[in-house]
């Protein structure tokens, strides 16, 4: 009887651990927010921090100020990561500003072919940009 109870307890514990691992490995649900006409797709990180994972800029927008905070529903999140791998060209954008809340920047800035200057905020600890601009060169990139 004791062996049966012990075996059942071990199996139950294994199932609980497996479910916890599956939940931790599950992809995070993306959310969207529109700020100044620009649509940002983001994932919630730990705490009230978010990572911007995609961006969509209408042709009428010439200045993109990536926000330091994003509000979704009743929650306000701090933008700490920029991890965008977007292959759309937002030709209308001439100015791109990154917020000083960012601690990590990765992905590409190839979607902004007419932006000639980017200032990387001093808050950035991790900078892993693969391509700043395809086929052209940035005039200035300030750190």
* Digit-coded pLDDT (tens) for 19-78: 555 544 444 578 999 999 999 999 999 989 999 999 999 999 999 999 999 998 899 999
Q: Is pLDDT above 80 for 115?
A: yes
Q: Is pLDDT above 60 for 4?
A: no
CB atoms within 10 A of CB 98: 20
> For residue 125, what pLDDT is reported?
93
> For residue 30, what pLDDT is reported?
83
Mean pLDDT over 121-130 rounds to 87
> What are the residues whose beta carbons fall under 8 Å from the beta carbon of 36, sequence distance 6 or more?
61, 65, 67
Q: Is pLDDT above 50 for 85?
A: yes
Three-class secondary structure of residue 29 per DSSP: coil
């Amino acid at each position: 009887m004791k062996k049966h109870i012990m075996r059942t307890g071990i199996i139950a514990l294994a199932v609980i651990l497996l479910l916890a691992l599956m939940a931790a490995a599950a992809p995070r649900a993306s959310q969207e927010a529109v700020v100044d006409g620009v649509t940002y797709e983001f994932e919630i990180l730990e705490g009230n921090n978010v990572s911007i994972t995609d961006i969509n800029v209408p042709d009428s927008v010439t200045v993109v100020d990536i926000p330091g905070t994003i509000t979704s529903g009743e929650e306000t999140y701090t933008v700490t990561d920029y991890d965008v791998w977007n292959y759309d060209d937002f030709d209308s954008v001439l100015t791109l500003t990154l917020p000083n809340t960012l601690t990590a920047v990765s992905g590409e800035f190839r979607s902004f072919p007419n932006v000639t200057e980017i200032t990387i905020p001093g808050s950035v600890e991790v900078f892993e940009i693969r391509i700043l601009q395809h086929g052209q060169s940035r005039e200035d990139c300030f750190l």
